[in-house]
Amino acid sequence: MKKSRRTFIRDMGMGSAGIAIGGLGLGFTSKSYANIVGSNERLRVAVIGTNGRGLAHIGAFGKVKNTEVAFLCDVDDKALNKGLDFAEKKIGKRPATTKDLRTLLSNKDIDALSIAMPDHWHAPATILCCQAGKHVYVEKPLSHNPHEGELAVQAARKYKRVVQMGSQRRSWPVLTEGITALHGGVIGKVHMAKAWYTNSRGSIGIGKTAPVPAGLDYELWQGPAPRVPFRDNLIHYNWHWFWHWGTGEALNNGTHEIDVIRWGLGVDYPLRVNSVGGRYYFKDDWETPDTQIITFDCPGETSVIWEGRSCNSRLVEGEDRGVIFYGEGGSMSTGGNSYIIYDKKNKVVKEVKSNIEIDGRNTLSPSEGLDVVHFANFVDAIRDNKLPNADVETGYKSTLWVQLGNIAQRVGYTLNIDQHNGHILDNPKASKLWRREYERGWEPKI
C-alpha cells in the first residue's frame, strides 16, 4: 500500500539508517521517496527571512517543478509584507505567514525550510529544522563560527536530512565544465589560486541606542546571540559588519569564491592561514575588515589568496569578483558561469561564456536564472536520495576556510591547521574563537 507523504517523512526520520560524515547515501531509497514526493506531488517549502536574499529563494523555488512556497517567515512585519508582495508578483500567490520559525517545525505539511536569516541564525536554525525532520536549504555561510558548523553537519547526518548550502556556483553548468577540465589537467598541476571580491560600500555611521521599531520582534531576531540593546544602524543589512552577528565580507562574499577554489583544488583543509587588513576607509561602527587579504598554504605545494575590498570597486581582470587558477601549463580564470583557459604564454586556448547575465554585487541574487538550478538540485536531492551539490559537509569546509582567515585576522597570528579535522593547532587564543557564547536557553544542541 502506498504510504502518505507525512507517514513516509516520519518513517524516514525514525527508522532509516543514517550515514557518517563523508558517506554516500541518506538511508532511504529513491524508489520509496518517489512514491511520496514524485513527479506529480509537490514539495512544500517555507522561506525564513524575506527582506533580501530570501526574496530570491521565493522566486527560485517558485520556478522549480512541483515545488510550492507554502509559508513565509520573518520577525519584521515590513519584511514579511515585502515577501508577500514579491511572492504575489513572482509566483502568483500570497503564502501563509508566521513571525516565529519555531511554529513551522511541528507543521507536518512542510517538507523543507529555506533559511535566509542573518549569519548568527544559520547553523542554529539548520539544527532545529533537522531535528524537526525538515530538509534545509541554508544561505552561506553555513555558520557563524566553526563549532556550530560542525554541529550542523552532525545534525544533518543524525536526522538524515538533505542540507544544501547556498553556494550556487556548485550548480552552474559552464563553471562545472571548467572545473571538470581543471581536474582533467587542462593547465597541469595548479600551484596557486587567487580569488577576489570588490565593492564600493559607504559608511554605516555611529549608531545610537534606540527604541525597537514597531513590528520588529528584536528578541527573536537576536535568537541565539547574547542580548544587546537595539541600535539604529544595525538592521537590516549592517549587522554583517559586527562580529556579534555577522562574519564580515570574507564570509558574506568570499565564501563563494573560496568554495570554487576548494572545489577546483580538491583540498579539504589548508595547512596554514594568515590574514592582514582592517577597517580603513571610514571611522564608524563597522568592526570587520573592509580591506583584507587572506593567504592559505595548502597540501600539494599550492598557495591560495583571497582579496576583499569592500570600499574600493576597482575590477580585477575586468571582473568585480572571480577566481584564477595558475598551473604549470597555463591558467584558467572565471568570473561567474564562464571560464577562459590560457597557455603558458597567456594566449587564449579556450573561452566558454554563458548567455545568462550575472551581477556579482547584487545582494538579492547575482543571477535569477542560475539560482533556480541550485534550488532545483536541492529538490532533486530530496526526491532522488542523493547528496546535493553543496552538501552540508562541503559547505562546512568552505565556510571554515574563511572563518579561519577571520580568526587569524583577529588574533594577529598565522594559524597551523590539523589536516584530520580542520582544527587550529597549538594556539589557545585563536581556539577560543572556534565557538561563541549563546543567550541562555538558545544554545544549539544535537
Residue-wise pLDDT tens digits, 201-254: 999 999 999 999 999 999 999 999 999 999 999 999 999 999 999 999 999 999
Q: Are 406 and 400 in contact (CB under 8 A)?
A: no
pLDDT of residue 385: 86
Give the sheet arrangement for strand 112-115, strand by strand. Answer: 96-98, 67-73, 43-48, 112-115, 135-138, 163-165
Q: Are residues 163 and 175 in the same domain?
A: no
Q: Which residues on adjacent β-strands are paired with residue 292?
A: 277, 308
Residue at 215 is within a domain: no
Kindly state whether residues 148 and 295 are assigned to the same domain.
Answer: no
Does a structural domain hold residue 219? no
Q: What is the CATH number of the domain that holds 301?
A: 3.30.360.10
Contact in structure between 245 and 120 (CB atoms under 8 Å): yes
Distance CA 81, CA 87 (A): 10
Give me the pLDDT at residue 361, please. 59
pLDDT band at 355 (very low <50, low <70, confident <90, very high): confident
Give the integer Cα–Cα distance in Å for 161 and 130: 6
DSSP E strands, 230-301: 272-278, 291-298
Instruction: Indicate the number of domains in the chain.
Output: 2
Is the model's pLDDT at 368 over the cut of 80?
Answer: no
Encode pLDDT of 34-86 as tens digits.
Answer: 333 444 588 999 999 999 899 999 999 999 999 999 999 999 999 999 999 99
273 shares its domain with 411: yes
| pLDDT for position 365 | 58
Q: Domain limits at 290?
A: 171-206+230-360+396-430
Report the CATH number that the domain containing residue 146 is assigned in CATH.
3.40.50.720
**186 and 125 housed in the same domain:** no
Main-chain phi, psi angles of 148, to 5 degrees:
-70, -20
The answer on 380 and 334 residing in a single domain is: no
Indicate whether 439 belongs to any domain. no
| pLDDT level of residue 145 (50, 70, 90 thresholds) | very high
Q: What is the pTM of this model?
A: 0.89
Share of the chain above pLDDT 70, in %: 88
pLDDT tens figures, 311-337: 999 999 999 999 999 999 999 999 877
Does one domain contain both 327 and 281?
Answer: yes
Q: Report if residue 225 sits inside a domain.
A: no
Q: Do 152 and 176 lie in a common domain?
A: no
Same domain, 85 and 182: no
Same domain, 198 and 309: yes
Instruction: Give residue 21's pLDDT.
Output: 29
Same domain for 107 and 75: yes
Residues 285, 400 within the same domain: yes
